Amino acid sequence: MPGRKIRVTSCSSLHIIGTSLSNPAAKSMKVSATTNTKRHHHHHHHSSKTNKTAAARAAAMVNHDTENLSPIFSSKSKSSDSTDNVGVGDSKISHEAIEQDVTNLTNLNNLPSTNAFEALQISSDRLRTIIAALHCNILIRKADLVRNLDYVANVLDAVHEDETRIKQQHIPVAPIRRRLMEEDDGALSEIEPDSVPNEVRDWLTMTFTRSMSTLKRRPSDKPKFKSVAQAIRAGIMVDRIVKKWTLRIKLKTINEWTFDVFSVNEFTNGQCLRYVGFELMQRYNLPNKLHISITTLQNFLEQMESGYSRYRNPYHNLVHAADVLQTTYQIIYNSGLMVENWLTDLELFAIFVAAIVHDFEHTGTSNNFHIQSRSDVALIYNDRAVLENHHVSAAFRLMRQDEYNILSEFTSDEYKNFRHLVIEMVLATDMSCHFAQLKTMRSLISMQENIEKAKALALILHCADISHPGKPWDIHHTWTQSLMEEFFKQGEKEKELGLPCSPLCDRDNTLVAESQIGFIQYIVEPSFIVVGDMLEKVLKSLVAADSELLSPSIPNRSMTSSPSPSAVSSTELNHQHDEQNGLERQLPSSMTTPIPRSTIVRRPWAEYLKLNRERWVQEAEEERRRKQLNVIEEEP
């Protein structure tokens, strides 16, 4: 669209022109003085009041300097047109105007067709309304967001198709030949575009001239972008905006038990571990607090993904690592211990790293397979916790290299404590230690003494490692299919090596439903009962300690957070750079009575374990029927 400009002022905030959806006729457009393109009729009556309102809304939307914005939003115009700044400096509009525009996003019935000229301006307005709402943390219904973005994408597709068609019709010719053609076609070039139908114009041009560009085009037929490249760039920009905000929305659910790691992995093109890991560490500002280089942390997470992808395992892969990391965090977060001053920054970092590395370079086979096949790793670790020892050892060997050394700024004591915690937690994921671990923890729960923190964290990680039966059915069933496929592949390897087939590894005879019923009933459910009881005991001990020490001058432990969550997540760093050090929740000075705190831990997994077990019982009945039918068919 020649000469079309969206005005952006040169001041520190981005001001959006024409964000109002409530008055579609009131839009602001500049037309270049170098062209003769006329404004459409509905652009003639544009009041200064509308300009002031739109600009003020934009000012309310953006409260940070453009230096802190994503590059997509931080471009500045060199124009100093005073009309662009009218009423901006003194205007402080509440969110009500933007909320009204967000409400209007639900109305798509009266929008022009995607190939209409007006669709471009409306698409721009709707995109900017969405951006304004996201900046102001105004909720947009998912359905409205998807429908509006789909409309904008269709408009861009229409523009691209139109521009491509036009380009294909304009075949470059030599300058001399072009001039001769213009002389020959002079008469037809004078035909006004509205004087004949489109079909007649095209027939006259094709039949009586040597060029398809002779006749004047109607304004609606003119290219809406200067080139195909601009249309493609616009599409890329919109795609980046959509991906950025979609990932931001997905990671906002990272505190929830039902977090869908598969969705995040698909959206990040198979890189969910680095995104989930970086998000959690930035959420609690750990790189800054522990003096960890961001580049080194990114290198470390990328190398973790590489190690998890080495054997292309169906189950023990980077998605499993991301899932265990998020679940470990969620169990602690859900219990309330994140705000109870129970963990230091170093301990929280150790938890995250232990979850990340707990299956690093997993071979897709069990410890028993390594022992029976006399593998190198079994010989190195003397048949004891073979894989678990390798996971943690390989991770620490990696961190000895400078580009992956996230521990380079640790003191000797910090390194020693960190290493002790990580080793303790990772080795506790050895399934052969399962029953001994539960027995020990039950004993500790029954005693008066406080539970050793390393043992508590080890049980949390172990439970997170086997947690998928406690998730929604779709997530649990997907994990089950992946795990069984990995078991079956091991069974095939065992047959090739002449080894006995391990339990659940025979593709032809394993009853999947029955195996999951037993897994839930005898392994997962008892483990989560114990971990829930353990968390409640830890909470009670913290509350009891506070009740003894609390005085009017000493704030309640529950009202201070250490480690404190950063005020921004990793996806918001460009917008809120100044809030890196987290926030402290402080007790009002006038409050002298402690607020009662619950010591009951919510157990969201309990209901899912029950529902999934019932579902597997139904599946088991189906398995038995199928097996009986197969026996009948095989009988002579």
- The residues assigned a catalytic role are 316
List residues bridging with 30 in a β-sheet.
5
Residue 567: exposed, middle, or buried by beta-carbon count in 10 A (0-12, 13-18, 19+)? middle
Distance CA 7, CA 160 (A): 23
Q: Is 430 annotated as a binding residue?
A: no
Binding site annotation covers 43?
no
Residue recorded with tokens 């309102």: 53
Counting other chains too, the contacts that 63-69 makes at CB distance below 8 Å and 24 or more residues apart are 63/13, 63/135, 64/13, 64/575, 64/576, 64/577, 65/12, 65/13, 66/12, 66/13, 66/14, 68/574, 68/575, 68/576, 68/577, 68/578, 69/14, 69/574, 69/575
Integer Cα distance of 615 and 33 in angstroms: 70
> Does residue 521 have a known ligand-binding role?
no
316 is in an annotated binding site: yes
Does 533 appear as a known binding residue? no
477 is an annotated ligand-binding site residue: no
- Is residue 612 a known part of a binding site? no
Distance CA 562, CA 191 (A): 77
Burial of 224: CB neighbours in 10 Å, binned 0-12, 13-18, 19+: buried
Smallest Cα–Cα separation from 583: which of 356, 325, 183, 283?
A: 283
Residue 538, token pair as written in the block: 């830890």
Give 3-state DSSP helix, strand, coil % of the chain, rounded to 5.
60, 0, 40
Q: What are the start-end ranges of the H helices in 62-141?
A: 96-104, 118-135
The residue behind tokens 């959509």 is 242
Close Cβ partners of 261 (under 8 Å, ≥ 6 residues apart): 272, 276, 319, 322, 323, 326, 475
**Which residues partner with 554 through β-bridges?**
551
Residue showing tokens 């019709």: 169
What's at 353, amino acid-wise?
V
C-alpha distance across the termini of the chain, in Å: 78
> CA 607 to CA 610: how far, in whole Å?
5
**Residue among 622, 473, 441, 466 at smallest CA distance from 537:** 441
* Structure tokens belonging to residue 240: 């980046």
The conformation of residue 578, written as its DSSP 8-state character, comes to: T
Q: What is the DSSP letter of 556?
A: -
Annotated binding residue 137 = no
Nearest to 303 by CA among 408, 415, 407, 406: 406
318 is in an annotated binding site: yes
The residue written with tokens 């049980």 in the block is 459
Known binding residues for AMP are 316-320, 359, 465, 516
Known binding residues are 316-320, 358-359, 465, 516
